[in-house]
Structures are given as C-alpha cells and as structure tokens.
Amino acid sequence: MKKLFLLLTGLLVISILQSCYKDIGPVEPEGEVPDNGISFGRDIQPIFDQNCINCHPSSGNLDLRAGNAYNNLVNVDASGYSGKLVVPNDPDNSILYKKIDGSNAYGSNMPLGGSLSATQINMIKQWITEGAQNN
C-alpha cells in the first residue's frame, strides 16, 4: 500500500512539473527578436512600462506611458537635440535608438543607471527598421 502511494505521488509530481513546463512557451535566445515582426503594443510598450515610465511619466518631458508613448516618439522632434526621436525605417538616425544602444551619441545611455537587454535593444531597433508602426 505504501509503495502504491509513493508511486502515485511520484506520478502526480511528474505530471504537474511536465504541465508547468509546457506553459512556459518558447524562449528567444538573448539578443534575438521574434521572426513574426515586432508589434509596438505587444513588444515595445512593455519595455517602456518596465524600464522607462518611472522617469518618463505624464509630468515629465517625455510621456512613455501606454496610450501616449507612440505619439510622443514617432516623427517627433527631440527636446534638446537636433533630430527626431524615432525616424521610421532609420534606427541610426533615431535618437531613441541612439540613447539605448550604448554609444552615448546623445548624452547618457538610457535608462539612467541601467541598461536594456540585448534582446530589448534589438527589438526596438527592429521595430524602427520595420517602419515604427503603431500596431
């Protein structure tokens, strides 16, 4: 009876662990972006939510909160710099990208006191390269 109990308990634990594994989904290798294109709402806004809105809320110079970020970035003149924050199809001339790519081309790298992951930087670059769509 004890062996049967241990066997059933072991099978239950294995089935629970296996079902949790299936819920994880695919994990992108560090630095790689999804093959199915980048979505502003699905991929880019969460980066801003996680890393940027503490310093760029509604009261700040640049509002990166959901519902405001896109219109405050794309084809918008940068405050304090000559150029646009995001130039669709042109990450190398987009101040947003140059502020996160580690080049310090426009002052301090963002976010201040930290950095985005290689995957997050590449996603923003790819989103701009794909035309910086509001999707």
pLDDT at residue 58, rounded to an integer = 75
Tens-place pLDDT, residues 5-20: 554 454 444 544 444 4
pLDDT at residue 93, rounded to an integer = 97
pLDDT at residue 32, rounded to an integer = 65
Q: How is 18-34 classified by DSSP, letter by letter?
A: HHHHHHH---PPTT---
Is 8 a member of any domain?
no
- The C-alpha atoms of residue 122 and residue 41 are separated, in whole angstroms, by 16
pLDDT at residue 23, rounded to an integer = 38
Low-confidence ranges of the chain (pLDDT < 50): 7-8, 10-13, 15-28
Is 79 a member of any domain?
yes
- For residues 100 and 109, the answer to whether their CB atoms sit within 8 Å is yes
Q: How many domains does the chain have?
A: 1
Whether this model's pTM surpasses 0.75: no
Is 26 a member of any domain?
no
Domain, as residue range, for 79:
40-129
Is 72 a member of any domain?
yes
